[in-house]
Chains A and B, each alone.
Chain A
Amino acid sequence: MADMISQAEMREKYLRKGMLPTIFCNGCGHGSSLDYTFRAIEELGLDLDDIVFASGIGCSSRIPGYINADGLHTTHGRSLAFATGVKAANPDLNVVVFSGDGDATGIGGNHFIHAARRNIDMTVIILNNFIYGMTGGQVAPTSPKGTIATTAPYGNLEGAFDISELAKSLGAAYVARWPVFYPQQPIKSIKDAISTRGFSLVELMSPCPTAYGRRNKLGNIKNLWDWYENNSVLAEEYDKIMNYGTDEEKAATINKIKIGVFQHTEKVGFFEAYEEQIKNLMANDDKKWGGV
């Protein structure tokens, strides 16, 4: 731990200092997520010139603006499409996408699904705060049942998207979900996600005290952060309790949010496979393929 980068060094090395302090509200977890990303990049020893950050619209999508690296701030939900383009143009670059829950699964739901299905080699960091925070707290596809929001003043009736489960079923190479208040697990996950080949997703549960906590009577910043802590359980522990626990334990655990690493494999990314195909076709040039 001794050689960990300090925030003073981080300010000089990674941040566009003129843009700070951030626009994030008091008690928002997005700033911490940015901090973890820097620590992961530092531990991997990557150069910021080899990384491109992309984002759509929303609170979380402000993040590439604070990083002293090349970034794209694109249209709502289309960050993954732009990132695919970046990867197509230069497959040597590391592409990191910052996206919010509404941006990735609401507006850009299909882009997310198909980027994961096509296995584009990129890292997606979704900052899930259960709500459309920037526009004033409308119901998002990830809002849990019963959420009070401006568009659901008597409680949300719809079920919520489980982003990690969705990505896992789509065959993403790396899927992990962590709350933002444990630093080490997200740092390790972001490190693994960047170094894993194929589509990697890190879902960070980021508290939103302004739009979510205040309306849902979760109290002040301290209580909101504690709420996340008390309502999440490690996936392995969840399975153990569901299999061997008593009825009381099961009742106490069943509604909690599962956290942990859900999938970790290596998969050949789309553009790597594409290069391979071109190489094979060039080698067998005399053999005509397709309709010619």
Chain B
Amino acid sequence: MIEILDDWCKGCEICVNRCPVQALEISEIMNKKGVRVPRLKAVNKCYQCRLCEQLCPDFAITVTKEEKEEGEEKECKLIIGGVCAD
């Protein structure tokens, strides 16, 4: 989950451009300054690396860990010796 404080966003798109898995996009939602704010794509590969949060110059992004539901297949980014090493 990515929470964005819309009114502090200036629309620099650094988070969109530098995301390693292109999980963010510019949405149709406008904040009070008339800036289109970024949102997570409906289908995304976000694995909570928190790079967008660290890069955001306006303190507007917070990434929270999403609790996986029981039984859901976990997708591994890094597999060492056949074991998921995420």
Q: Which residues of A contact B (CB under 8 A)?
A: 1-2, 4, 6-8, 10-11, 15, 20-22, 24, 26-32, 34-36, 39, 181, 183, 221-222, 225
Contact = CB atoms under 8 A, between A and B. Distances in A.
A225 to B, nearest CB: 7
B14 A10 contact: no
A191 to B, nearest CB: 14
A1 B60 CA distance: 19
B18 A6 contact: no
Contact of B54 (A8, A11, A30, A39): A39
Interface in B9-30: 10-14, 17-18
Given A8-B3, A26-B10, A225 B57 contact: no
B55 A21 contact: no
A53 B51 CA distance: 26
B70 to A, nearest CB: 21
B37 interface: no
Contacts of B50: 1, 4
Contact of B57 (A1, A8, A32): A32
Contacts of B17: 221-222, 225
Contact of A35 (B8, B13, B54, B65): B54
Contact of A20 (B59, B63, B64): B59
A31 B11 contact: no
Contacts of A24: 57
B58 A22 contact: yes
A183 B55 contact: yes
A150 B56 CA distance: 29
Interface in B47-75: 50-51, 53-65
Contacts of B65: 2
Contacts of B10: 21, 26
24 contacts: A1-B50, A2-B65, A4-B50, A7-B53, A7-B56, A8-B3, A11-B5, A11-B59, A15-B59, A20-B58, A22-B57, A28-B57, A30-B57, A32-B55, A32-B57, A35-B56, A36-B54, A39-B54, A183-B51, A221-B13, A222-B13, A222-B17, A225-B14, A225-B17
